[in-house]
Protein backbone atom coordinates (compact mmCIF):
# COMPACT_ATOMS: atom_id res chain seq x y z
CA UNK A 1 0.00 0.00 0.00
CA UNK A 2 1.23 3.46 -0.88
CA UNK A 3 2.10 5.65 2.11
CA UNK A 4 3.00 9.27 2.64
CA UNK A 5 5.11 10.77 5.42
CA UNK A 6 3.84 13.96 7.01
CA UNK A 7 5.44 15.80 9.91
CA UNK A 8 4.49 18.43 12.48
CA UNK A 9 6.94 21.33 12.65
CA UNK A 10 5.21 23.20 15.47
CA UNK A 11 2.27 22.86 17.82
CA UNK A 12 1.87 26.49 18.85
CA UNK A 13 3.17 29.89 17.84
CA UNK A 14 6.01 29.93 20.37
CA UNK A 15 7.20 26.40 19.65
CA UNK A 16 10.85 25.39 19.24
CA UNK A 17 12.31 25.63 15.73
CA UNK A 18 15.19 23.07 15.79
CA UNK A 19 12.89 20.00 15.87
CA UNK A 20 11.25 21.23 12.64
CA UNK A 21 14.66 21.51 10.98
CA UNK A 22 15.50 18.00 12.21
CA UNK A 23 12.26 16.69 10.67
CA UNK A 24 12.85 18.52 7.38
CA UNK A 25 16.38 17.17 7.11
CA UNK A 26 15.96 13.64 8.42
CA UNK A 27 12.24 12.82 8.44
CA UNK A 28 11.96 11.59 4.85
CA UNK A 29 8.85 13.75 4.62
CA UNK A 30 6.64 14.78 1.77
CA UNK A 31 4.78 17.36 3.87
CA UNK A 32 5.73 19.52 6.84
CA UNK A 33 2.90 21.24 8.73
CA UNK A 34 3.21 24.17 11.11
CA UNK A 35 0.23 24.74 13.41
CA UNK A 36 0.63 28.09 15.17
CA UNK A 37 -2.81 29.56 15.77
CA UNK A 38 -4.46 29.43 19.19
CA UNK A 39 -8.04 30.59 19.77
CA UNK A 40 -7.09 34.09 20.79
CA UNK A 41 -4.08 34.54 18.49
CA UNK A 42 -6.16 35.42 15.46
CA UNK A 43 -8.11 38.16 17.28
CA UNK A 44 -4.85 39.73 18.43
CA UNK A 45 -3.53 39.42 14.87
CA UNK A 46 -6.62 41.22 13.54
CA UNK A 47 -5.86 44.12 15.88
CA UNK A 48 -2.24 44.17 14.67
CA UNK A 49 -3.39 44.22 11.05
CA UNK A 50 -5.63 47.21 11.72
CA UNK A 51 -2.61 49.13 12.97
CA UNK A 52 -0.45 47.99 10.02
CA UNK A 53 -1.98 46.49 6.83
CA UNK A 54 1.17 44.39 6.22
CA UNK A 55 1.08 42.92 9.76
CA UNK A 56 -1.23 40.38 11.40
CA UNK A 57 0.62 37.14 10.76
CA UNK A 58 2.80 34.97 13.00
CA UNK A 59 5.85 36.84 14.33
CA UNK A 60 8.07 33.75 13.90
CA UNK A 61 7.02 33.11 10.29
CA UNK A 62 10.22 34.43 8.73
CA UNK A 63 12.47 32.67 11.26
CA UNK A 64 10.73 29.33 10.77
CA UNK A 65 10.80 29.59 6.98
CA UNK A 66 14.43 30.65 6.93
CA UNK A 67 15.24 27.57 9.02
CA UNK A 68 13.39 24.94 6.98
CA UNK A 69 13.02 26.22 3.42
CA UNK A 70 16.45 25.13 2.16
CA UNK A 71 15.95 21.50 3.23
CA UNK A 72 12.33 21.49 2.07
CA UNK A 73 13.18 22.86 -1.39
CA UNK A 74 16.05 20.41 -1.78
CA UNK A 75 13.88 17.42 -0.96
CA UNK A 76 10.61 18.61 -2.45
CA UNK A 77 8.86 18.79 0.91
CA UNK A 78 5.67 20.88 0.75
CA UNK A 79 4.89 23.16 3.67
CA UNK A 80 1.40 23.86 5.03
CA UNK A 81 0.86 26.38 7.80
CA UNK A 82 -1.76 28.58 9.44
CA UNK A 83 0.88 31.18 10.29
CA UNK A 84 -1.00 33.56 7.97
CA UNK A 85 -3.29 34.28 10.95
CA UNK A 86 -5.24 37.46 10.10
CA UNK A 87 -3.22 38.22 6.98
CA UNK A 88 -2.32 35.15 4.87
CA UNK A 89 -1.53 37.20 1.78
CA UNK A 90 0.99 39.45 3.55
CA UNK A 91 2.44 36.31 5.14
CA UNK A 92 2.84 34.71 1.70
CA UNK A 93 4.69 37.81 0.49
CA UNK A 94 6.96 37.58 3.52
CA UNK A 95 7.71 33.91 2.75
CA UNK A 96 8.59 34.93 -0.82
CA UNK A 97 10.98 37.57 0.52
CA UNK A 98 12.66 35.02 2.77
CA UNK A 99 12.93 32.55 -0.13
CA UNK A 100 14.51 35.16 -2.40
CA UNK A 101 16.95 36.02 0.38
CA UNK A 102 17.96 32.34 0.45
CA UNK A 103 18.29 32.23 -3.32
CA UNK A 104 15.28 29.94 -3.68
CA UNK A 105 13.80 31.62 -6.72
CA UNK A 106 10.52 30.53 -8.24
CA UNK A 107 9.13 29.10 -4.99
CA UNK A 108 5.35 28.96 -5.37
CA UNK A 109 3.34 30.10 -2.38
CA UNK A 110 -0.44 29.93 -2.07
CA UNK A 111 -2.38 32.09 0.38
CA UNK A 112 -5.82 30.89 1.43
CA UNK A 113 -8.24 33.59 2.50
CA UNK A 114 -11.97 33.73 3.14
CA UNK A 115 -12.05 32.58 6.77
CA UNK A 116 -12.55 36.19 7.93
CA UNK A 117 -16.31 36.60 8.32
CA UNK A 118 -16.22 39.67 10.57
CA UNK A 119 -18.06 41.94 8.13
CA UNK A 120 -20.57 39.25 7.27
CA UNK A 121 -21.51 38.65 10.91
CA UNK A 122 -21.22 42.17 12.34
CA UNK A 123 -24.59 43.44 13.52
CA UNK A 124 -26.39 40.14 12.81
CA UNK A 125 -28.60 38.26 15.24
CA UNK A 126 -26.34 35.18 14.97
CA UNK A 127 -26.54 33.41 18.33
CA UNK A 128 -23.34 32.96 20.32
CA UNK A 129 -22.78 29.61 22.04
CA UNK A 130 -22.15 31.47 25.31
CA UNK A 131 -25.49 33.32 25.06
CA UNK A 132 -26.44 36.63 23.41
CA UNK A 133 -25.90 37.58 19.78
CA UNK A 134 -23.13 39.01 17.64
CA UNK A 135 -25.19 42.22 17.27
CA UNK A 136 -25.29 42.64 21.05
CA UNK A 137 -21.46 42.77 21.13
CA UNK A 138 -21.73 46.07 19.25
CA UNK A 139 -18.39 47.79 18.84
CA UNK A 140 -16.77 45.32 21.26
CA UNK A 141 -16.56 42.89 18.30
CA UNK A 142 -12.93 42.53 17.21
CA UNK A 143 -12.99 39.64 14.75
CA UNK A 144 -14.90 36.62 13.50
CA UNK A 145 -13.04 33.82 11.75
CA UNK A 146 -14.56 30.58 10.49
CA UNK A 147 -12.69 27.31 10.90
CA UNK A 148 -12.46 26.29 7.26
CA UNK A 149 -11.73 22.80 6.01
CA UNK A 150 -9.09 20.91 4.07
CA UNK A 151 -10.52 21.39 0.56
CA UNK A 152 -8.72 24.58 -0.43
CA UNK A 153 -5.42 23.29 0.99
CA UNK A 154 -5.68 20.14 -1.16
CA UNK A 155 -6.55 22.33 -4.13
CA UNK A 156 -3.54 24.61 -3.61
CA UNK A 157 -1.19 21.62 -3.34
CA UNK A 158 -2.69 20.05 -6.44
CA UNK A 159 -2.07 23.31 -8.30
CA UNK A 160 1.61 23.12 -7.38
CA UNK A 161 1.97 25.14 -4.20
CA UNK A 162 5.24 24.46 -2.40
CA UNK A 163 4.10 26.50 0.59
CA UNK A 164 0.45 26.94 1.61
CA UNK A 165 -0.29 29.75 4.05
CA UNK A 166 -3.70 29.92 5.67
CA UNK A 167 -5.54 31.86 8.34
CA UNK A 168 -8.11 30.15 10.56
CA UNK A 169 -8.41 26.53 9.46
CA UNK A 170 -9.48 23.59 11.61
CA UNK A 171 -6.12 22.36 12.94
CA UNK A 172 -6.45 18.73 11.76
CA UNK A 173 -7.39 20.03 8.30
CA UNK A 174 -3.83 21.29 7.88
CA UNK A 175 -2.86 17.59 7.78
CA UNK A 176 -6.02 16.30 6.11
CA UNK A 177 -5.50 18.64 3.12
CA UNK A 178 -2.22 17.02 2.05
CA UNK A 179 -3.68 13.51 2.59
CA UNK A 180 -6.73 14.29 0.42
CA UNK A 181 -4.45 15.62 -2.30
CA UNK A 182 -2.08 12.69 -2.05
CA UNK A 183 -4.65 9.87 -2.06
CA UNK A 184 -7.54 11.52 -3.88
CA UNK A 185 -10.00 10.78 -1.07
CA UNK A 186 -13.58 11.66 -2.00
CA UNK A 187 -15.33 14.49 -0.11
CA UNK A 188 -17.84 11.96 1.20
CA UNK A 189 -15.40 9.18 2.08
CA UNK A 190 -16.25 9.68 5.74
CA UNK A 191 -14.13 6.79 7.01
CA UNK A 192 -10.93 8.03 5.38
CA UNK A 193 -11.63 11.67 6.22
CA UNK A 194 -12.21 10.54 9.81
CA UNK A 195 -8.92 8.63 9.86
CA UNK A 196 -7.08 11.56 8.33
CA UNK A 197 -8.56 13.69 11.11
CA UNK A 198 -7.21 11.23 13.69
CA UNK A 199 -3.75 11.67 12.17
CA UNK A 200 -4.10 15.45 12.13
CA UNK A 201 -5.34 15.51 15.70
CA UNK A 202 -2.44 13.35 16.91
CA UNK A 203 0.14 15.53 15.16
CA UNK A 204 -1.26 19.05 15.49
CA UNK A 205 0.26 19.66 18.93
CA UNK A 206 3.65 18.44 17.73
CA UNK A 207 5.73 17.44 20.80
CA UNK A 208 2.63 16.58 22.81
CA UNK A 209 2.58 13.16 21.13
CA UNK A 210 6.34 12.50 21.32
CA UNK A 211 6.65 12.79 25.08
CA UNK A 212 6.20 16.52 25.60
CA UNK A 213 3.68 17.50 28.27
CA UNK A 214 3.81 13.90 29.49
CA UNK A 215 6.70 13.48 31.91
CA UNK A 216 5.92 12.75 35.56
CA UNK A 217 9.21 11.68 37.16
CA UNK A 218 9.18 8.18 38.57
CA UNK A 219 5.76 7.51 37.07
CA UNK A 220 6.04 8.47 33.42
CA UNK A 221 9.65 9.20 32.53
CA UNK A 222 10.68 10.71 29.21
CA UNK A 223 14.30 10.75 28.01
CA UNK A 224 16.05 13.82 26.66
CA UNK A 225 13.20 16.36 26.75
CA UNK A 226 15.64 19.17 25.96
CA UNK A 227 16.04 17.68 22.49
CA UNK A 228 12.43 16.56 22.09
CA UNK A 229 11.76 15.33 18.57
CA UNK A 230 8.58 16.33 16.77
CA UNK A 231 6.28 13.67 15.31
CA UNK A 232 5.73 12.37 11.85
CA UNK A 233 3.14 9.93 10.57
CA UNK A 234 3.47 7.43 7.80
CA UNK A 235 -0.08 7.38 6.51
CA UNK A 236 -1.51 4.69 4.27
CA UNK A 237 -4.06 5.12 1.49
CA UNK A 238 -6.67 3.64 3.89
CA UNK A 239 -5.96 6.44 6.41
CA UNK A 240 -4.41 4.20 9.07
CA UNK A 241 -1.01 5.40 10.21
CA UNK A 242 2.25 4.78 11.97
CA UNK A 243 3.21 7.62 14.33
CA UNK A 244 6.91 7.98 14.97
CA UNK A 245 9.79 10.51 15.14
CA UNK A 246 13.31 10.95 13.83
CA UNK A 247 15.65 8.29 15.24
CA UNK A 248 18.00 9.70 17.86
CA UNK A 249 15.82 12.68 18.78
CA UNK A 250 14.63 13.16 22.37
CA UNK A 251 11.30 12.08 23.79
CA UNK A 252 9.35 8.91 23.13
CA UNK A 253 6.36 7.74 21.14
CA UNK A 254 4.33 5.07 22.92
CA UNK A 255 0.70 3.96 23.03
CA UNK A 256 0.37 6.03 26.22
CA UNK A 257 1.62 9.28 24.63
CA UNK A 258 -0.71 8.68 21.68
CA UNK A 259 -3.73 8.00 23.91
CA UNK A 260 -3.21 11.23 25.87
CA UNK A 261 -3.04 13.23 22.68
CA UNK A 262 -5.94 11.39 21.02
CA UNK A 263 -8.32 12.61 23.74
CA UNK A 264 -6.77 16.06 24.14
CA UNK A 265 -9.43 18.80 23.88
CA UNK A 266 -12.02 16.26 22.71
CA UNK A 267 -15.56 16.21 24.07
CA UNK A 268 -17.59 13.30 22.64
CA UNK A 269 -14.92 11.07 21.02
CA UNK A 270 -17.53 9.60 18.68
CA UNK A 271 -18.43 13.04 17.36
CA UNK A 272 -15.40 15.24 16.91
CA UNK A 273 -16.87 18.03 14.82
CA UNK A 274 -14.76 19.15 11.91
CA UNK A 275 -15.56 21.20 8.79
CA UNK A 276 -14.93 18.20 6.51
CA UNK A 277 -16.30 15.33 8.59
CA UNK A 278 -17.61 14.36 11.99
CA UNK A 279 -14.69 12.22 13.07
CA UNK A 280 -15.23 9.18 15.26
CA UNK A 281 -12.32 8.37 17.58
CA UNK A 282 -14.30 5.87 19.66
CA UNK A 283 -12.98 2.77 17.87
CA UNK A 284 -9.37 3.92 17.47
CA UNK A 285 -6.73 1.38 18.46
CA UNK A 286 -3.10 2.16 19.23
CA UNK A 287 -0.42 -0.54 19.34
CA UNK A 288 3.31 -0.38 19.80
CA UNK A 289 5.07 -1.20 16.52
CA UNK A 290 8.71 -1.03 17.49
CA UNK A 291 10.75 1.57 19.32
CA UNK A 292 9.12 5.00 19.23
CA UNK A 293 6.55 3.78 16.72
CA UNK A 294 2.83 3.34 17.26
CA UNK A 295 0.31 1.95 14.81
CA UNK A 296 -2.99 3.85 14.86
CA UNK A 297 -6.00 2.21 13.26
CA UNK A 298 -9.78 2.13 13.43
CA UNK A 299 -10.72 5.79 13.08
CA UNK A 300 -14.01 6.47 11.38
CA UNK A 301 -16.32 9.28 10.42
CA UNK A 302 -19.86 10.33 9.62
CA UNK A 303 -21.18 13.10 7.34
CA UNK A 304 -20.16 16.64 8.19
CA UNK A 305 -22.78 18.92 9.73
CA UNK A 306 -22.79 21.63 7.06
CA UNK A 307 -21.98 24.31 9.63
CA UNK A 308 -18.63 25.83 10.44
CA UNK A 309 -17.53 26.95 13.87
CA UNK A 310 -16.63 30.63 14.09
CA UNK A 311 -14.23 32.06 16.63
CA UNK A 312 -15.48 35.51 17.67
CA UNK A 313 -13.04 37.88 19.34
CA UNK A 314 -14.33 40.74 21.49
CA UNK A 315 -13.05 43.41 23.83
CA UNK A 316 -13.63 42.30 27.41
CA UNK A 317 -12.02 45.15 29.33
CA UNK A 318 -8.74 45.16 31.23
CA UNK A 319 -7.01 42.83 33.66
CA UNK A 320 -5.22 44.42 36.59
CA UNK A 321 -3.05 42.26 38.83
CA UNK A 322 -0.71 42.51 41.80
CA UNK A 323 1.34 39.85 43.59
CA UNK A 324 3.49 39.75 46.73
CA UNK A 325 5.23 36.90 48.58
CA UNK A 326 5.35 35.88 52.28
CA UNK A 327 7.64 33.20 53.71
CA UNK A 328 8.65 31.34 56.84
CA UNK A 329 6.60 30.74 59.99
CA UNK A 330 3.18 32.40 59.75
CA UNK A 331 3.47 32.92 55.99
CA UNK A 332 -0.06 31.69 55.32
CA UNK A 333 -1.60 33.88 58.03
CA UNK A 334 0.26 36.95 56.78
CA UNK A 335 -0.76 36.14 53.23
CA UNK A 336 -4.39 35.86 54.25
CA UNK A 337 -4.16 39.13 56.16
CA UNK A 338 -2.72 40.79 53.04
CA UNK A 339 -5.61 39.50 50.91
CA UNK A 340 -8.17 40.77 53.44
CA UNK A 341 -6.43 44.13 53.55
CA UNK A 342 -6.40 44.59 49.79
CA UNK A 343 -10.06 43.58 49.64
CA UNK A 344 -10.95 46.17 52.28
CA UNK A 345 -8.77 48.86 50.69
CA UNK A 346 -10.35 48.37 47.26
CA UNK A 347 -13.73 48.91 48.95
CA UNK A 348 -12.54 52.03 50.76
CA UNK A 349 -11.23 53.67 47.60
CA UNK A 350 -14.39 52.82 45.67
CA UNK A 351 -12.62 50.58 43.20
CA UNK A 352 -14.89 49.16 40.50
CA UNK A 353 -14.42 45.78 38.83
CA UNK A 354 -16.57 43.43 36.80
CA UNK A 355 -15.01 40.49 38.59
CA UNK A 356 -12.28 40.00 41.23
CA UNK A 357 -10.22 37.08 42.44
CA UNK A 358 -8.06 36.72 45.57
CA UNK A 359 -5.60 33.80 45.51
CA UNK A 360 -2.98 32.54 47.89
CA UNK A 361 -0.58 30.78 45.52
CA UNK A 362 0.74 27.67 47.25
CA UNK A 363 -2.57 27.13 49.04
CA UNK A 364 -5.65 27.52 46.88
CA UNK A 365 -4.96 29.24 43.54
CA UNK A 366 -5.34 26.16 41.36
CA UNK A 367 -6.90 23.26 43.23
CA UNK A 368 -9.42 25.35 45.17
CA UNK A 369 -9.73 25.33 48.96
CA UNK A 370 -8.19 22.18 50.44
CA UNK A 371 -9.05 21.34 54.01
CA UNK A 372 -6.28 19.96 56.19
CA UNK A 373 -3.58 20.48 53.57
CA UNK A 374 -0.11 21.09 55.06
CA UNK A 375 1.05 24.71 55.11
CA UNK A 376 3.80 25.57 52.62
CA UNK A 377 6.99 27.44 53.61
CA UNK A 378 6.20 30.26 51.26
CA UNK A 379 3.08 31.65 49.64
CA UNK A 380 2.30 34.32 47.11
CA UNK A 381 -0.64 36.68 47.31
CA UNK A 382 -2.34 37.28 43.99
CA UNK A 383 -5.11 39.82 43.50
CA UNK A 384 -6.58 40.13 40.03
CA UNK A 385 -9.63 41.82 38.56
CA UNK A 386 -11.31 42.61 35.27
CA UNK A 387 -12.16 46.29 34.88
CA UNK A 388 -13.64 48.53 32.21
CA UNK A 389 -10.61 50.84 31.93
CA UNK A 390 -6.82 50.47 32.21
CA UNK A 391 -6.76 53.14 34.94
CA UNK A 392 -9.16 51.19 37.12
CA UNK A 393 -7.20 47.98 36.45
CA UNK A 394 -3.96 49.68 37.49
CA UNK A 395 -5.35 50.53 40.95
CA UNK A 396 -5.30 46.83 41.87
CA UNK A 397 -1.53 46.62 41.50
CA UNK A 398 -1.14 49.88 43.42
CA UNK A 399 -3.00 48.49 46.40
CA UNK A 400 -0.79 45.38 46.42
CA UNK A 401 2.31 47.54 46.05
CA UNK A 402 1.29 49.64 49.04
CA UNK A 403 1.48 46.51 51.23
CA UNK A 404 5.26 47.08 51.30
CA UNK A 405 4.97 49.86 53.88
CA UNK A 406 1.40 49.41 55.04
CA UNK A 407 0.74 45.68 55.08
CA UNK A 408 1.79 42.59 57.07
CA UNK A 409 5.42 42.01 58.05
CA UNK A 410 8.10 40.83 55.64
CA UNK A 411 6.24 40.82 52.34
CA UNK A 412 8.44 40.97 49.27
CA UNK A 413 8.75 40.66 45.51
CA UNK A 414 5.81 42.74 44.33
CA UNK A 415 4.88 42.48 40.67
CA UNK A 416 2.12 44.43 38.95
CA UNK A 417 0.52 44.06 35.54
CA UNK A 418 -2.21 45.57 33.40
CA UNK A 419 -3.31 44.07 30.09
CA UNK A 420 -6.15 44.33 27.66
CA UNK A 421 -8.50 41.35 27.56
CA UNK A 422 -9.63 39.98 24.21
CA UNK A 423 -12.19 37.30 24.91
CA UNK A 424 -13.18 34.56 22.51
CA UNK A 425 -16.72 33.35 21.97
CA UNK A 426 -18.06 31.09 19.28
CA UNK A 427 -20.99 30.65 16.94
CA UNK A 428 -21.90 28.63 13.86
CA UNK A 429 -22.22 29.74 10.25
CA UNK A 430 -23.61 27.75 7.28
CA UNK A 431 -20.65 26.44 5.26
CA UNK A 432 -22.14 27.93 2.09
CA UNK A 433 -21.69 31.41 3.58
CA UNK A 434 -17.91 30.96 3.66
CA UNK A 435 -15.98 30.99 0.39
CA UNK A 436 -12.27 30.25 0.72
CA UNK A 437 -10.14 31.56 -2.12
CA UNK A 438 -6.55 31.14 -3.33
CA UNK A 439 -4.02 33.80 -4.16
CA UNK A 440 -0.54 33.11 -5.51
CA UNK A 441 2.82 34.66 -4.78
CA UNK A 442 6.09 33.59 -6.38
CA UNK A 443 9.56 34.12 -4.99
Partner 1 sequence: MLLRDLAHSRAGDKGDISCISVIARDAADYPLLLREVTAERVRAHFAGIVRGEVRRYELPGIGALNFVLEGALGGGVTRSLALDAHGKCLASKMLEFDLGG
Binding site for partner 1 (CB under 8 A): 39-40, 129-130, 213-214, 216, 219-220, 255-256, 259-270, 281-286, 298, 316, 319, 355-357, 359, 361, 365-369, 382, 384-386, 421-426
User: Could you tell me if 143 and 119 are in contact, meaning their C-beta atoms sit under 8 angstroms apart?
Assistant: no
Q: Which is nearer to partner 1, 113 or 254 (CB)?
A: 254
Rounded to a whole number of angstroms, the minimum distance from the CB of residue 426 to partner 1 is: 7
DSSP 3-state of 389: coil
Rounded to a whole number of angstroms, the minimum distance from the CB of residue 161 to partner 1 is: 31
Rounded to a whole number of angstroms, the minimum distance from the CB of residue 151 to partner 1 is: 24
Q: Which is nearer to partner 1, 75 or 297 (CB)?
A: 297
Q: Which is nearer to partner 1, 34 or 318 (CB)?
A: 318
Task: Give the residue from 303, 334, 339, 336 showing the smallest Cα distance to 322.
Answer: 339
Q: Which is nearer to partner 1, 76 or 368 (CB)?
A: 368
Phi, psi (degrees; rounded to nearest 5) at 232: -140, 155
Q: Give the Cβ contact number of residue 416 at 10 Å.
A: 16
CA angle, residues 212, 214, 217, in degrees to nearest 5 = 115
Rounded to a whole number of angstroms, the minimum distance from the CB of residue 308 to partner 1 is: 16
Q: Which is nearer to partner 1, 157 or 294 (CB)?
A: 294
Task: Give the residue from 77, 32, 81 showing the smallest Cα distance to 61.
Answer: 81
Rounded to a whole number of angstroms, the minimum distance from the CB of residue 40 to partner 1 is: 5
Q: Which is nearer to partner 1, 44 or 89 (CB)?
A: 44
Task: Report CA-CA distances (Å) from 230 to 29, 37, 75, 395.
Answer: 12, 17, 19, 44
Rounded to a whole number of angstroms, the minimum distance from the CB of residue 318 to partner 1 is: 11
Strand blocks (E) in 278-408: 278-280, 285-288, 294-297, 300-302, 307-327, 355-361, 378-387
Q: Which is nearer to partner 1, 126 or 261 (CB)?
A: 261
405: exposed, middle or buried (Cβ count in 10 Å: 0-12, 13-18, 19+):
exposed
Output the 3-class SS for 47-107.
Answer: HHHHHCCCCCCCCCHHHHHHHHHHHHHHHCCEEEECCCCCCHHHHHHHHHHHHHHCCCCCC
Rounded to a whole number of angstroms, the minimum distance from the CB of residue 282 to partner 1 is: 6
Rounded to a whole number of angstroms, the minimum distance from the CB of residue 270 to partner 1 is: 8
Q: Which is nearer to partner 1, 283 or 328 (CB)?
A: 283
Q: Which residues contact 314 (CB under 8 A, 6 or more apart)?
A: 43, 137, 140, 141, 142, 422, 423, 424, 425
User: Could you tell me if 262 and 201 are in contact, meaning their C-beta atoms sit under 8 angstroms apart?
Assistant: yes
User: Could you tell me if 284 and 262 are in contact, meaning their C-beta atoms sit under 8 angstroms apart?
Assistant: yes
Rounded to a whole number of angstroms, the minimum distance from the CB of residue 425 to partner 1 is: 8
273: β partners: 278
DSSP 3-state of 175: helix
Q: Which is nearer to partner 1, 55 or 356 (CB)?
A: 356
Amino acid sequence: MRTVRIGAGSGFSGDRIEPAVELAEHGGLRYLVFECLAERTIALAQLARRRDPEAGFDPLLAARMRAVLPACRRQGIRIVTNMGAANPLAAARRVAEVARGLGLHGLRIAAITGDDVTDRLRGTETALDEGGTVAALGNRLVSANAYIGAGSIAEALEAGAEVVVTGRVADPALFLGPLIREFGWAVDDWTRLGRGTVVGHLLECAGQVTGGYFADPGVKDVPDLARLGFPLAEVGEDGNALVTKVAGSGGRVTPATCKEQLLYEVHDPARYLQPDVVADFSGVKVEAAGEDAVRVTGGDGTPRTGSLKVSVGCHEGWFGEGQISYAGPGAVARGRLALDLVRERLGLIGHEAEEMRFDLIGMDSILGPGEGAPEPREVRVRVVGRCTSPEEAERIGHEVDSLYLNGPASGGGVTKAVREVIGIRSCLIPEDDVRPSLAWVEA
